[in-house]
Each structure stands twice: as structure tokens, then as C-alpha cells.
Structure 1
Amino acid sequence: MQLLVNKAIEDFLASNHAEILRARNVAISNPVAGQNWLVDQHLLDWAAHQTGKPVEEMFEDFGAWLARQEPTRRLLRFSGRNFAEFVVRLEELPGRAQMVSENFAMPPISVRSGGMEMLQVTLPAGAIRWTALLAGMVRVMADDYGALGLISVEGHVISVQISDEEFADGRDFSLSPGTPKHTQQGRT
């Protein structure tokens, strides 16, 4: 699983920060420096430093990029018929990740309703990078479902206020490219 995560990070950097990936390749040609690239988050930390972005912003960008990748998008869309249902079911994400790979450690996610279409997604206090990554995914998925919402991050809490569940047409959705496509409301 670690290799898949590293590959995804490399693909993200190649599509958004190619110059950083080239600099990284030069750095890893030195065997001592290359040892630093064995853990995936170091590459994103280093990329954030190279671009002058805050580390959390780089992780949020990576989360948004992941959610735009069609296989990931299809898996995420399978989590709910509408955006609110998708957000509520984020609690299931760590368990689903464990089904894919037992050694993939994702922190627990808690979702609670704050009334008036307000949801709060909470991760452990030490999971700031995970919080940023998940916030990026949530932002993209709001657009994907066609929902109008205000998504804000404060520490390890993502607040999602849904103003209009059907603000715009959501993107077509199907579990596989060969099946008929349906919108989030199930129309053809």
C-alpha cells in the first residue's frame, strides 16, 4: 500500500509541480539523501517547502487532486446519493481503507450534525495532515455532487455547511466506465 501512496504523490507532483519532482529525482540520485524519500509525507513536506506553501495547503491540494482521479472519484461517490450523505459516511473511510490493506493506518473520523445542514468532521488532534487531505477531498466532492456549501477547517475539525444540496447539476456518476451513467439523483 505504501508504494501506491508514494506513486499517487509522485503523480500529483508530476501533474502540478513537475519542477519539484525533477529536483527530487536529482536529490535521490545521492544514496544518502535518497533514504529520506522512503516515507510518503516527507515528499509532500519537502514539496511544500520548495513551493513556499504551508504543509497543510499542500496536503489539501493532494486530497483535491486524489478526488479528481476517476477511480477514486467513483469510490467516493459510492459513499452517498447526495453530498450530505457522503459527508456523514466519511466515518466509514478508515474501515474501508483497512479492507484494502491491513497495514494502511488512517485515523478515525467522527461526523456529527450541528443542525441547519451543518456537519462537523473531526479527526484526532494530531492528524492535521489527514484533516487537510480530507478537506481537499470534501471540497471537490461538493462540486462533484453539485452542492453549494461552505467548507472550513479549524485545527482537526472540518465544518461543512450545506446551503443548497442541488445548487448545480452534479457530474455524471457510474461505478464503472462501461455502465449507464446517472446523476446524483438517479436520473438518466
Structure 2
Amino acid sequence: MHGLIFRTLEAFISDAFGPDRWAQAVAFSDLPITSFEAMLQYDAAYFPILLTACAQNLDRAPSVILEDLGAYLITHQNHASVRRLMRFGGDTFSELLHSLDDLPGRTRLAVSGLELPHVHVREPIPRNFTIHCTGTPTGFGHVLVGLLRAMADDYGTLAVLDHRGVRDGAEIIEVQVIETAFADDRGFSLAETEAAHLG
């Protein structure tokens, strides 16, 4: 599994709860490593072990940790590139949802070797979306829920998101877009992206 996944979990726990809580979780996991390098590959079996250790150490459900991790990827200043990647998906939150089918491919272009689960989006009723996530890492659907909630806020959209569990090997997320202009859109421009690269 790509080291960026592990490194992101490490950064989130350290930033949100303190480096000591990460160190405690790693010690509890009994894994032969204390910190992860973003561009290395690691045994995929490490991830559920680490997630369980973090959940027990923080007294939080693994699903809650993963959803908070998704929100962190959008809202924390150290991960502005993730927000930019998502905003490339469309000018509105609904357009972003329709673009999620292409998210694994866009991610691979941004980070070589990073494999995300396959994402399939349907809109059977206007403003009501169903998202299917298939593949590893297990629990990615919860990360996506947190990420999309943060992106809805970013677009100024009021939306209700619910992780409906696993069906036929796929995590199911339901999204209802209630109001598209609920708050101010934070905005996005190519000039912003170019400035970030130059900086």
C-alpha cells in the first residue's frame, strides 16, 4: 500500500490529537515501524491494525476517525492540494459528485502509484446521488464522506451524506443535495493553482 495513505493517517492523528497520541497508537499496534515515508510502499495489512490501534487509543469508532480524516484533507492548510484536486471536478458540488468516477485516475496523475478504490456515481433522482466504492483500502467510503461534507461546505452547498454500509462488496454512500446556494462559495481559480505551484 502506498506510503502516502499511512503518512496521511499519521499526520491527521498528530495534528488533531498530538504526536504523543500517534506514538501511543503505534506502540499499541506492535508494528515494526513508528513513522511512515510518503513515497514508499508498505504492507497493506498494517492499515487496519493501525486504524484499530488509533480508535482504541482515542476511544473513537474507526469510521469516525476516517470521516474526520476526510474532512482534514480538505480543511487543513497542509493539504490545500487535495482541495484543488477536488475543485477541478466542477464548478458546482453536483458537478463534483458526477466527476468522482474519474477521481482514482486524477489521483494517479497527481501521485504516481497511488491506487484508490473504484468509484461509481449515479443520480437516479435529481439531486439524489448514490456512490459505490469498491476496492482497498477498506473504509475509504468513510474518508470520502468526510471529504465530501467538507467540499459541500467549500461550495456553499447544503447536503446530507450518509454511509449506508457495504453491499455486494461495495461501500454505499447516499448524498442528497438540498440547497446549492446555502452559503458563500469559497471560490477557486486556475490562477490560485498556478500561484500555489510558484510558491
* Normalised-by-shorter TM-score class: 0.7 to 0.9
- 5+ residue gaps, structure 1, are 180-188
Q: How far does residue 102 in structure 1 lie from its aligned partner after superposition?
A: 5.1
Question: 2:116 and 2:98 mapped to 1: Cα distance?
Answer: 17
Q: Which residue of 2 aligns with 1:83?
A: 93
Deviations 1:58-79 (A, max 9, x none): 1111111112231211111111
Q: Which residue of 2 aligns with 1:21?
A: 22
Change (3 A) 1:41 1:104: farther
Q: How far does residue 178 in structure 1 lie from its aligned partner after superposition?
A: 2.9
Question: 1:52 and 1:108 mapped to 2: Cα distance?
Answer: 30
Moved more, 52-61 or 32-41: 32-41
Q: Do the aligned residues in 1 keep the contact of 2:117 with 2:136 (CA within 8 Å)?
A: no
The amino acid across from 2:173 in the alignment is: I
**Which residues of 2 match residues 60-99 of structure 1 at below 5 A?**
60-68=67-75, 69-99=79-109
The amino acid across from 2:14 in the alignment is: A
Q: Which residue of 2 aligns with 1:183?
A: none
Output the TM-score relative to the length of structure 1: 0.81
Q: Which residue of 1 aligns with 2:8?
A: 8
Change (3 A) 1:125 1:157: farther
In the comparison of the two structures, how many residue pairs are matched? 175
Change (3 A) 1:121 1:74: same
Q: Do the aligned residues in 1 keep the contact of 2:116 with 2:135 (CA within 8 Å)?
A: no
The amino acid across from 2:172 in the alignment is: V
Q: How far does residue 139 in structure 1 lie from its aligned partner after superposition?
A: 0.4
Question: 2:195 and 2:133 mapped to 1: Cα distance?
Answer: 36
- 5+ residue gaps, structure 2, are 35-41, 166-170
The amino acid across from 1:23 in the alignment is: Q
CA RMSD of aligned residues (A): 2.6
Q: Which residue of 2 aligns with 1:176?
A: 193
Output the TM-score relative to the length of structure 2: 0.77
Deviations 1:118-171 (A, max 9, x none): 011111388650110111101000000000111111012111111111111011
The amino acid across from 1:6 in the alignment is: F
Question: 2:173 and 2:86 mapped to 1: Cα distance?
Answer: 17
Q: How far does residue 114 in structure 1 lie from its aligned partner after superposition?
A: 2.1
Q: Which residue of 2 aligns with 1:122?
A: 132
The amino acid across from 2:21 in the alignment is: I
Q: Do the aligned residues in 2 keep the contact of 1:113 with 1:120 (CA within 8 Å)?
A: yes
Q: Which residue of 2 aligns with 1:184?
A: none
Q: Does 1:157 align with 2:172?
A: yes
